[in-house]
Every structure is written in structure tokens, then in C-alpha cells.
Structure 1
């Protein structure tokens, strides 16, 4: 089977060229521009550098694991405490090592499943209880994801339930499923509106879920979808294209972008917009006005396949790769500070 996570070796040169503009301001007219969003170096990830890992948050702590280090898949699992910056290793994820999996938290527990193990696509799923195992947490295998095995899916948490959908199983997908921890059951939901997609981004704000980006048949998707768990229905927000947002600023559509939520806004960082290009741009999305605002660039540089999560008033982004370079750093975003560009 062809490896779907084969490194894009030519990214390294293109990333360097792009970084000259990202960090030196290619437009001299914008030298005095000020933008929101201050990035500060956080505590480095304690495991090996990797990309295409998964993350979720439980009780104000970030959980990170799995991924690909450039040569092999991984199954180690870690917790980050933002109060003191400590990383602690927890029991490894059971089952095969993997990359391109999904993770979500629901009802005080974390969940990881699907992905690619280097030989085939996966559909197994595992539940992590942080309060079991004498404080180190404990894994239990739950019912497999009921649809086809896949990688590059999207996942989100809403109202103490988890949602998983889309991705690639040999074909592009748009199905959508709910997992209810209270009954330990999967239930099929209404499929995503519009196109199928691989490696899209997803986030939740104010009790609703949002999905955008990704690729379908080599085309980058520009739509932005909103899911209401109360009705089980999808609706379209304005897309990431000039036809929908004339006169507005908005991010280019992408895959492998990193999305997270702080308070009532979502944030989108990095990814790739096609070809050999990686991105370091940062955008804030306000769902009430359906508008995007550009923030200061990500100080960690050009990055695809990173993980991100919001805790309290801050966002955290780390790991990922740019070409053959794999990262193990983490960065903290204060979205309200104004910083001169």
C-alpha cells in the first residue's frame, strides 16, 4: 500500500524561501503595522519530535500522543500541565502505533482512534480515564468506529459527546458519527454538507461545531460548515473565498491546519495551501459575526500537522513538521495582546 504520510521532501527548500517573507516583512509599507496575538515559547514537548499527532483537553490539562517522527509511527502518550509547564508520560495507547488519528474528550474522559499504522487504515478506538490507574490514567478499548477504517478524519466534542467524520479510506469521505460515553454507543448523524474531505480542520464554539478546509480529489475546499447538535443539522457559513467575503480578510483554504478555541473564538494556525508551501499565518474566527481577523504569525515558523488546544485564556500549538524537519517545541498564544509587527 502506498504510504499516505510519505514526507513531502521538497518542502524544506520552499519553507526556507517562504520564511524570508514571514519573518522579515516582505511589504515595506507594513513596517509599522500592529497585530493582535503574542506568542511566547512554552515548555518543549518531552517526547520525540513528531507530526500528525492527536490532542485533547481534560480539566485544564492538555493530552498529546501518537504521530509520526519521520521514520516510524508512535503510540506514546503525555499530559501537559500549563500551571507549571510540566510534561508527564502516561501509559502508551493500546493497539498499533499510528499517525493521522483523531482525538476528542467527552464527559471527563479522552478518546483516540482511527489513523494509519504504516500498513493499513485503522478503526479501533480507546478511552482514557485520567482518574484511574493510581493517578497515571488507564486505557480501555471501546467499540470500534462503526464505519470504514480511515485516516485524516475530523473530530470534535459537543455536550459531553464526541463526533468523528470525513477522512480517507481509499476514497474521500463525508460521513459523520456521534459517540455517547453514557451508553458507549456510536450513532450515525447527517453527513457533512457539500464536499467530502481529507485533513480538514474542526473546532467547537458556543455549543456548535465547525468544519472547513481539507482536500477532495486534489481540490482544496473553501466551504465553512456549522453543525448544531440540538437539531443534528448542518448549515453553511460564508466560505473562504472572495466570492463569499468580498472586502473582508480571511484565511486561504488549507489542509493539515491546527484549530483550537479560546473563550468564544476559534483560532486557525498553519497548514499547507497546496504544492510545496507550508504556512505560519494565524487567524481568529468570531462565529457570531462570521468574520476572520489575522493575528501575528506563529513564532514557531512554517508548520503542518501540528497539534493545538485552548486552556483558560491561552492557546497552545506545537509539534508538526516542515519538510523533513520535525518539531518538538510548544508555543503559547495570548490572543488579546497587541504586538508591533
Structure 2
């Protein structure tokens, strides 16, 4: 008896649909929306600095390829004006003109320092900003204790460093600014803290020396990642606890594809330099770390979300506009903003808000 053979043909559209629905942790179900907000209003620039005091963000300095700036503006945004508004502050001392500097805020004051001056000299000065109803005042503070260069540590004629990384933590009951990594003629990985009066040497960063790294802070733990040593992009991630063992660095999962699962197949997209990092709540109200912008041979538009509990990354909606390198970011009233930077050598003055809790909406 002949056996009857049955063949079933599926329409091509169904086959294609099945293929397109195959899950890949790095490329499907992307969530997050980039929303246009108020541009800076001043000159377009990259390598600027930012800090927040209360419900106000401050942005200043930077470089447009020709000039280094020293102007500062404050930014505010609320439910009645989600687009946001910038206010030009009284001009600070000309000595603040720089690029690739650092900034942090402690005890209701902002601090700006290091970087390159107009002649590309490495700086080691530090300036304190005190807000007031007249736009605020600036005062010079103790020089950064740059080791290993000419002159005495802490003296004004000692060369400084550029492209370092700064963050704020509370040590005991004292809020301090921390500065690590950067380039002082060589790539470095030391760590110093500043309490508003003086600098103190802390436990050095144990990872590879680098510049262009970023850090985000959650639950008074700083997470440092990315950057470059000139020949290789850093693929490690470290957590720093200032209140354990006099300051302890703990290695986290490397940012590479080493598992047999597909969740980390695209982790190589995370590594970059001169990116931005920030913390805000996800759709469940849980704080997550976010990494965006920067470059790795070319502009990197990929956005990633870091889970502090599980030590894993989830890809989010990519930057929807000209992806910047050397941008700034800040979180204000639970909302996160990214702006300035450069794309293909072109300086930018645009700002955007990233909302990780909603789906992408084009051109909003």
C-alpha cells in the first residue's frame, strides 16, 4: 500500500513573522523614549560639566573646537513646564574656562575643576559655587593634589589632569566629592576625596588606568565603568563603597559576552568612552543605572540599563537624534536629561529627556 504524504505550505508572510519574533535579549522589546527638551541657549559645545543642587541643574564650561567657555546656566523643569528653561548666570571668573573638567556637588554647593585651559594646559584648580538669589558666587578652593608631576603636590605650578571622573558619596555623616582616573600625561587610577576644605588620598581604583570613564551612584555606592587607556576600551565594572574597610572596590561582572545564553550577546555594544551615565527609576519604581551616548571608533547611540541587584544589562531604545560624545547628563526631580556634546566633530547645544518607562515615540 502506498503511503500518502502530506505537505503543508505556510504563506511567506507567516514565515517572516515567525523569524522576526525570535527573541534576542539585545534587540527586541526595546523600551524607552528620547524627548526633545529646551536647548542650552548658549554656544554649542562638548566636554562641558554639570552638577545639581536641590531641584536645579547647572551646566557650564566646554569646548567648540576653537574656544573654551566659562559661562554657566541653570536649568529647571517641572510639571507646568516639562520642556524646561535655562537661565544665564552672572559670568564666573575667566579662569573657569576649560574643557574635559570635573564637577560634583556637596553640602548645597557645586565644585568645578581640572581639565584643559584655552592653551590645552592641564589644570588642577578647584572652584566652589554658592547659589544665592543674585545668581551665585564663585571662590577658589584647594588645588587638586596631583601626584607625580613637576612642582610640589598641591602647588599651583603642578600640572593637573583631564578627562577624570567625579561622583558624590557620604562617608559616615560627611558628604564628599570623589575624583578618579583621567590623564595627567599618563593614564591614572588613583582616587581622592574632597570634603569642602581639603583633599584626601583614598583607596586607588584597582581597574585599568583610563580616561573618559563614567560613574553612577545608587544607595551610596559608586559604579565606575567604560573609558579608554588609549589602546583599548575598558570592559570592566567596579563598585566602590566608601564606608567598608576604609573604602572598598568590588569587581562586578565584566561587560563582555562570555555566557552560552543570548542575554549578553550584545554586551560589546556597551563599552565606549566619553559617554554619560545617570540613575533614575524604571517602570516599577526601582532605581536603575543608564549608560548612553559616547563613542567607540564612531558615535555610539546605544542606550543600556544596568540592574544593580542582578548585575545585568538590558538594551533600551537607542538615542534617537545625532548621538553625542562628550555630552553631559543629570537627573532632576526623578527625570533624566542628556545634552551638548559633539557628533562628527560638530558641537551640539541640544538637550533631551530619556524616559525608560514608555515605548518609543518618533519625533517628539
Same fold judged by TM-score > 0.5?
yes
Is structure 2 residue 186 aligned with structure 1 residue 167? no
CA distance in structure 1 between the partners assigned to 2:289 and 2:207 by the alignment = 22
* The one of 251, 260, 270 aligned to 2:278: 260
- Change beyond 3 A, Cα 1:286–1:207: same
Work out which structure has the larger RCO, using CA pairs closer than 8 Å and 6 or more positions apart in sequence. Answer: 1
Is structure 2 residue 49 aligned with structure 1 residue 54? yes
Q: Which residue of 2 aligns with 1:207?
A: 220
Structure 1 SS opposite 2:321: coil
- Change beyond 3 A, Cα 1:30–1:258: farther
Correspondence 1:312-331 to 2 at 5 A: 312-331=333-352
- CA contact 1:34–1:340 (8 Å) conserved in 2: no
Is structure 2 residue 307 aligned with structure 1 residue 307? no
Q: Which residue of 2 aligns with 1:228?
A: 241
Is structure 2 residue 122 aligned with structure 1 residue 121? yes
Deviations 1:155-191 (A, max 9, x none): 001122100011001111000001112xx11111011
> How much does 1:119 deviate?
3.2
Deviations 1:8-43 (A, max 9, x none): xxxxxxxxxxxxxxxxxxxx9479954211111101
- CA contact 1:60–1:311 (8 Å) conserved in 2: yes
CA distance in structure 2 between the partners assigned to 1:74 and 1:244 by the alignment = 46
Larger radius of gyration: 2
CA distance in structure 2 between the partners assigned to 1:221 and 1:137 by the alignment = 38
Deviations 1:59-93 (A, max 9, x none): 12111000101211111111001123110111334
* The one of 201, 208, 221 aligned to 1:188: 201
CA RMSD in angstroms, aligned pairs only: 2.0
- Change beyond 3 A, Cα 1:113–1:325: same
Give TM-score scaled by structure 1 length. 0.86
- CA contact 1:262–1:311 (8 Å) conserved in 2: no
Runs of 4+ in 1 over 3 A off after TM superposition: 28-34, 244-247
- CA contact 1:222–1:240 (8 Å) conserved in 2: yes
> How much does 1:239 deviate?
1.1
More strand per residue: 1 or 2?
A: 1
Deviations 1:79-112 (A, max 9, x none): 0011231101113343141100001111111110
> How much does 1:340 deviate?
7.2
Structure 1 SS opposite 2:61: strand
Is structure 2 residue 63 aligned with structure 1 residue 78? no
Q: Which residue of 2 aligns with 1:89?
A: 88
CA distance in structure 2 between the partners assigned to 1:245 and 1:119 by the alignment = 47
Q: Which residue of 1 aligns with 2:5?
A: none
Give TM-score scaled by structure 2 length. 0.80
Farther-moved stretch of structure 1 (293-302 vs 68-77): 293-302
CA distance in structure 1 between the partners assigned to 2:296 and 2:203 by the alignment = 28
* The one of 28, 33, 36 aligned to 2:31: 36
Is structure 2 residue 333 aligned with structure 1 residue 333? no
CA distance in structure 2 between the partners assigned to 1:49 and 1:156 by the alignment = 25
Q: Which residue of 1 aligns with 2:140?
A: 141
Farther-moved stretch of structure 1 (284-293 vs 90-99): 90-99
Farther-moved stretch of structure 1 (255-264 vs 172-181): 255-264
Long gaps (5+) in structure 1? 1-27
Aligned length: 308
- CA contact 1:314–1:335 (8 Å) conserved in 2: no
- CA contact 2:272–2:300 (8 Å) conserved in 1: no
CA distance in structure 1 between the partners assigned to 2:348 and 2:20 by the alignment = 33
- CA contact 2:34–2:360 (8 Å) conserved in 1: no
CA distance in structure 2 between the partners assigned to 1:303 and 1:289 by the alignment = 29
> How much does 1:247 deviate?
3.5
